Chain A
Amino acid sequence: MIQTASIEKTACYHCGDDCLTPAYYVEEKQFCCLGCKSVFEVLSENKLCNYYSYNDHPGVNRAHIDKRFNYLNEPDIVNELIDYKDDNITIITFYIPQIHCSSCLWLLEQLHKMNPAIHYGRVDFLKKQLIIRYNHHQLNLQQLVELLYNIGYEPVISLQDIIKKQNSPAKDNLVQKIAVAGFCFGNVMLLSFPEYFGISVYEQTFKHFFGWINILFALPVVFYSGRSYFISAWQNLRIKVLNIDFPLALGIGVLFIRSIVDVAINNDPGFTDTLCGLVFFLLIGKYVQKKTYYHISFERDYRSFFPVAVNVITDDVEMPVPLSQLQTSQRIIIRHNEIIPADAILLKGRALVDFSFVTGESIPVSKTLGEIIYAGGRQTGEAIELEVVKSVSQSYLTQLWNNEAFTRQKDNNAQTFSEKISKYFTIVLLAIAFGALLFWLPFNASKGLAAFTAVLIVACPCALALSTPFTMAAALSIFDKNLFYLKSTRVVEQMAGIDTIVMDKTGTITNGDLNGVELNGELTTLEKLLIYSVCINSIHPLSRMICEHLGKTGRLPVSKYNEFAGKGIVATISGHHLKIGSGDLIFGYFKETPGITAIHILIDGHYLGYFSIKHNYRDGMDQIARLNSSYDLLLLSGDQDHERNDLLRFFKHSDNLHFNQSPQGKLDVIRSIQDKEHKVMMIGDGLNDSGALKQSDLGIAITDNVNNFSPGSDAIMDGRSFKKLPLFLRFSKDAVNIIHVSFIISLIYNLIGLSYAVTGRLSPLIAAVLMPLSTVTIISFTTLATHFAAKKRNLL
């Protein structure tokens, strides 16, 4: 016990972070911050300290303590959030990203012990959701959320309710369809065995019985499980598209009719086992193609980032107002850590706005009274008052969503391999089928019909339809293991077709962390004071970094000040003449060392050294730069071009670097590249990239925490995997090659079957063996080949 106590002295008992101060100390337990300590106190008061016995340090750090949930008293907002309500009880589902261990699960399901008004809490661990049923007479929503907040599990409440979308049941009932198809397939197989082993002459009545009972089993398979193929084929025919569902529907239909005819007229066993197996395997293929990530949403837009309500001041009274009802000329109050939801003019207070979500720039920007602050910034420091000048949907950032790129369905423009091939496949298939019919018709009409139907049965592209889903599902799970999450299997094929890669700068190729500033040279206190006094006047990010590096030293009045864009500052302070900036400014001409940005200092004609700023580019930026032999690499940044020289080593030409791009400008650049018939991949991270992400053929949002906000995109990449991007690109090409090979394999099976079919000699047994055999070959080939390719690329 003594040993563990001494270890726990440094780590916070609640969250496990290092305790920097011994100030938070209760019951011989050390905490890192007031937030963690208060959670412990709430739990110990309610005798729920078992929470700490299941896991060490189960909590999540709670350094931020600001709770403002009074908007949850507005009936309009409450009704939007709850799932169900009657006279006494309310049921609500919360999304709580902090859920991560069994202690979380245990505690959240013990809520009824803390407040008797709560009937129960139920956790869905993978979705990170909590369903709560409570009595709304004894406890209102605000109190409930505050209770969750007090125990360290603040739910994410946003306008765009991701939870409800995720919980809505799948419309297509795929699992039920598979169950029915599998059930019928199994029974039909069993009942077909007697026929294959031979039924003796005096048992011929059984033959009839088995045939009809098989037809009976085929009914739900065709009309329930297989219905979607007929619907899809018909819908596509009407818009004059021959997709893969057409030959499939044709195959299913022909199998069914031929089986009925065989059983009723010819007293043959029919093809019902092939039919049921076909539908069953096809549906399995559909199922594996659907991959759901419970904790990730690809559909986020500004609404999931903005708060639900904002405090509006009318006649000196503060009232929470839902964001949708916010109007221009209203006065709003924004406190520390709150987000400014609409473009507004600063009226009161000292604004220091962090635009990192919007631009990726991590240094807060200070704003003066009367200045317009664009929506999306997060206020840090004291409370400010603003007057709204544009409604939420018309604000500078959010109006991007009115662009046509956001309304058009983009999945339609990129055809997948199977879509391209199935058109020709169908035409050839029909040609062979009619050829066989016409060949036999003059001699033997019944044989001609038999050959015609047999061709359609045996060439039914089951293996073709399965090769894409199984390859892509395997590829998706390999990407998943490498912290790269794709929205759908389609994205893999889109990735293989990319020829241009466009990247955002801040937050995408650079880390979110502050860049490292280092002083090369010796400075006296006075000199430091002088430099600080000059740099504090500049809003240039480099000046800000220097100020941050020097720390607060005090400030001298500046008598003369001149800032040259992209070069530096020349200033005079209390008789001293200062030049701070690039080598060009100070020496006239200077060859900078590549890889670092140097800011040289010249005071009264003496060169005192320089500040070097190392850019924290993400790991693997060098490997990505090497992609430029096969891809066009471009940079699209919202920042000033002060890093242009550094970035030139990654991007071939200066023309490939675009700076000072507005969100709309980024979208337009992508579109102009696409107009030159290029396939563009965009990698970005902030809300300002969302237009470009949407417009591009493949938008990848990069984030350091997948539970955090990331703009809507086709794929989400964890920042740690950024260096693997070249491997991902190569692997996606491998996956497409595997699909091509498996297509050839399935063609070979089709040719074997066709050789039987055109002569009209296709027996049900051959069909029943050939179909599952080809399916199993394709499934095992695609799965094994994908894993092998992943091993080769070091992704496993």
Chain B
Amino acid sequence: MSIIYFLIGCSVLLALVFLGAFFWAQKSGQNDDLYTPSMRILLDDDDNIPTDIISDRITKQEEKSD
């Protein structure tokens, strides 16, 4: 039954990864606006969304936390 030690270790590690992912999402502002994307997806978009949006958001967040 010693395998339980290993299994619990694995499951906790996996759960920690998800917790870390949540923290990252929270910090990078992905949960700041939960409504607008639901509207945006319904609009036709013929060209690509500018890529620097996420990076800007992160730099802004970092400035605020300083």
Contacts and interface: CB of A to CB of B under 8 A. Distances in A.
Contacts of B65: 169
Contacts of B4: 206
Given A176-B23, A209-B5, A83 B60 contact: yes
A640 to B, nearest CB: 48
B56 A91 contact: yes
Interface stretch (A27-35, A117-125, A614-622, A693-701): A117-125
A741 interface: no
Interface stretch (A179-187, A489-497, A676-684, A713-721): A179-187
Interface string A186-213: 1100010000000000010010010001
B22 A179 contact: yes
A102 B15 contact: no
A35 B63 CA distance: 40
Given A179-B22, A180-B19, A122 B53 contact: yes
A567 B8 CA distance: 90
Interface string B27-66: 0000111011001101110000110110010011101110
Contact of B39 (A105, A186, A206): A105
Interface centre among B36, B61, B65 (most CB of A within 10 A): B36
Given A106-B43, A120-B53, A169-B61, A183 B19 contact: yes
B35 A126 contact: yes
Contacts of B35: 125-126
Closest 4 CB pairs of A and B: A125-B36, A120-B50, A106-B43, A124-B33
Contacts, number: 65
B60 A102 contact: no
A102 B36 CA distance: 9
A402 to B, nearest CB: 31
17 contacts: A84-B56, A84-B59, A84-B63, A102-B39, A102-B42, A102-B43, A105-B40, A119-B50, A124-B32, A124-B33, A126-B33, A168-B64, A176-B23, A176-B26, A179-B22, A186-B15, A206-B4
A213 B5 CA distance: 11
Nearest to B5: A209
Contacts of B39: 102, 105, 125
Contact of A54 (B26, B31, B43): B43
A3 B52 CA distance: 45
A50 interface: yes
Contacts of A169: 61, 64-65
Nearest to A206: B4
A175 interface: yes
Interface residues of B, number: 31
Interface string A102-124: 10011001001000000110111
A602 B5 CA distance: 103
Interface centre among B31, B42, B56, B60 (most CB of A within 10 A): B56
Given A109-B40, A125-B36, A187-B15, A175 B5 contact: no
B23 A133 contact: no
Given A106-B43, A126-B33, 19 more contacts: A50-B44, A84-B63, A91-B56, A91-B60, A105-B43, A124-B33, A124-B36, A125-B36, A126-B36, A133-B52, A133-B56, A175-B31, A179-B22, A179-B23, A180-B19, A183-B19, A187-B12, A191-B8, A209-B5
Contacts of B53: 120, 122
Contacts of B64: 168-169
Contacts of B32: 124
A283 B18 CA distance: 20
Contacts of B12: 187, 213
Contacts of B43: 54, 102, 105-106
A122 B5 CA distance: 49
Interface in A599-652: none
Contacts of A83: 60
Contacts of B8: 191, 213
A122 B15 CA distance: 34
A83 B57 CA distance: 11
